[in-house]
Amino acid sequence: MKRRLRKIASPAVRMLKPSRPIPARPLCSNRGAERGTPLGRHYVDRYMEANRGDITGAVLEIKNRRYTDSLGHGVVRGDVLDIDPSNRDANIIADLAAADDVPSDSYDCFILDETLQFVYDLRSAAAHAHRILRPGGVLFATVPCTVQHDGELKDVEMWRFTRGSCLRLFSEAFAGGEVEVETYGNFATCVASLAGVVLEEIDPALLEERSPLFVQGVCVRARKAGGAGT
């Protein structure tokens, strides 16, 4: 009887004692930034490259001019907004969720990458993002879903996002406009990213699949109603 029970239980026992145990620790924390290119940044770079046609005119970006300078064309103004008053690259110091001092209808493009996870009042931030865009202006927001927490900022990180929450948040804020939401990542890239594996170490073929079940991050393009486009 005991032998029979052992036989029935053996597959489960094998699962609990896998030959390749899951590592107890990642290769590194802080998303691999000290080891190479974090996988999430690779996807955001690709997303912004694919949408570079919209980075034009009066452009607002958070923290720095990463994409304004590298991908923009016909940029007539490139502003940088940050809540952090010590950021010397920022010419607008404001909390996006309470950005009443930023004039309405000011920008053709707002690049809001990897920031909303730090903003508690998402609805207010999305409403201000919409308000400060000109009619026809475009917001790009990228947000994390399955990713390590930022080591230095973990106490001020508020959220992780899904395709559904982004669709709802931006469809409400950009009512009457256009909202497109896409996700990136798959099982392999989610696991690799959590483990601290960086772009330079991963088989490029693994990056291509987009899984609806294993999402690493979400990218949003939201266009304000009006302007030449409508």
Strand partners, 138: 109, 223
Token digits of residue 97: 């969720």
Does 219 interact with ligand SAM (rule: CB under 6 A)?
A: no
In this complex, which beta carbon is closest to ligand SAM, that of residue 97 or of residue 181?
A: 97
In this complex, which beta carbon is closest to ligand SAM, that of residue 91 or of residue 230?
A: 91
Chosen residue from 39, 60, 71, 83 binding ligand SAM by CB under 6 A? 83
Query: Is the CB of residue 154 less than 8 Å from the CB of residue 170?
Result: no
Chosen residue from 82, 109, 126, 141 binding ligand SAM by CB under 6 A? 82
How far apart, in Å, are the Cα atoms of 203 and each of 41, 135, 174? 16, 42, 38
What is the closest distance, in whole angstroms, from the C-beta atom of residue 90 to ligand SAM in the complex? 8
Does 62 interact with ligand SAM (rule: CB under 6 A)?
A: yes
What is the closest distance, in whole angstroms, from the C-beta atom of residue 200 to ligand SAM in the complex? 19
SS3 75: strand
Does 79 interact with ligand SAM (rule: CB under 6 A)?
A: no
SS3 209: coil
SS3 54: helix
Helices of type H across the chain: 2-16, 39-50, 66-71, 122-132, 163-173, 187-195
Within 113-152, the residues that bind ligand SAM by CB under 6 A are 113-115, 118-119
What is the closest distance, in whole angstroms, from the C-beta atom of residue 6 to ligand SAM in the complex? 52
Window contacting ligand SAM (CB under 6 A); options: 18-26, 90-98, 132-140, 168-176? 90-98
Q: Which of 194, 200, 216 is nearest to 29 (CA)?
A: 194
Q: Binding residues for ligand SAM, per CB under 6 A?
A: 62-64, 66, 81-84, 95-97, 113-115, 118-119
